[in-house]
Structure 1
Amino acid sequence: MPDVSAGSAVPAAIAELTAEDAKLVTLARSARARVGAVEGAAVRDQDGRTYAAASVALPSLSITALQLAVASAAAAGASHLEAAAVVTEASTLDGAGHAAVRDLSDSAPVHVAAPDGSVLGTVTE
């Protein structure tokens, strides 16, 4: 489970993100707030399309926001991700979400942000 405060993460301020990546953080925050979820996430595919999702915790189904955003992109035909963002209160990027992003891209940055939108770091591995 990548730690955004250690080796593979690069600290970044939202102002340092590209406009497209800052939009992912905004979409992730909105998805999280809309349903009061623990996490929100957003991804951008090879065509610039974005997919946002919130974490789901049902008795028969639990999926992280990042997994669901990646699944939505894949279900829409995405074959590659350019970038991802997850908004969470955790200090680490969840392993399952990270693995889902890596299924579609070896190098897409995953920006991890706090609920207020401040970027805690970017996982590039």
Structure 2
Amino acid sequence: MNFLELFLSDLSAEDAKLVTLARAARARTRAAEGAAVRDSDGRTYAACTVALDTVELTALQLAVAMALSSGVKGLEAAAVVTDAESVNIDVVRYFAGANIPVVHAQGTGEVRDVVHS
């Protein structure tokens, strides 16, 4: 499904909230991308890209790391906001397994795609 066929209003309220949190995380620091994840208890974690000389983490890697450091046992969904054509969801697949939905949205909030781990 391309971003012209799927809109933020087409998502569940919980998934739309993830996109909103990811957009806010990205906007706060003007980062390349923002991400948010929802754990199996419904708690959310949002992060932005970290790009330093000594460490580089994608927003999704950092959001998952924040969830892990809080002791979560699983993820329900994730969202990544970026102007990039694609997103790397390996960290979600590694931690949460298959079939976790990851919403890929543009900075404007337009949904580009929903992929599954």
Q: TM-score range by the shorter chain?
A: over 0.9
CA RMSD of aligned residues (A): 1.6
- Per-residue CA deviation, residues 61-118 of structure 1 (Å, 9 max, x unaligned), is 0000000001111111111110000000101112xxx111112231110000000000
Q: Would you say 1:78 and 2:72 are equivalent positions?
A: yes
Q: Would you say 1:122 and 2:114 are equivalent positions?
A: yes
2:92 to 95, 101, 113: 101
Q: Is the CA contact (8 Å cut-off) linking 1:88 and 1:112 kept in structure 2?
A: yes
Q: Is the CA contact (8 Å cut-off) linking 1:55 and 1:68 kept in structure 2?
A: yes
Greater relative contact order: 1 or 2 (C-alpha under 8 angstroms, separation 6 or more)?
A: 1
1:58 to 45, 52, 56: 52
TM score, norm. by length of structure 2: 0.93
**Amino acid across the alignment from 1:120:** R
Q: Take 1:67 and 1:40, find their aligned partners in 2: how far apart are those partners?
A: 10
Q: Take 1:79 and 1:12, find their aligned partners in 2: how far apart are those partners?
A: 30
Q: Percent identity?
A: 54
Q: Take 1:102 and 1:77, find their aligned partners in 2: how far apart are those partners?
A: 18
Q: Would you say 1:35 and 2:29 are equivalent positions?
A: yes
Q: Take 1:114 and 1:105, find their aligned partners in 2: how far apart are those partners?
A: 25
Determine helix, strand or coil for the equivalent of 2:104: strand
**Amino acid across the alignment from 2:103:** H
Query: Following TM superposition, where does structure 1 have runs of at least 4 consecutive aligned residues deviating by more than 3 angstroms?
Result: none
Q: Take 2:7 and 2:110, find their aligned partners in 1: how far apart are those partners?
A: 7
1:19 deviates by 0.1
Q: Which runs of 5+ in 1 are unaligned?
A: 6-10
Q: Take 1:61 and 1:106, find their aligned partners in 2: how far apart are those partners?
A: 28
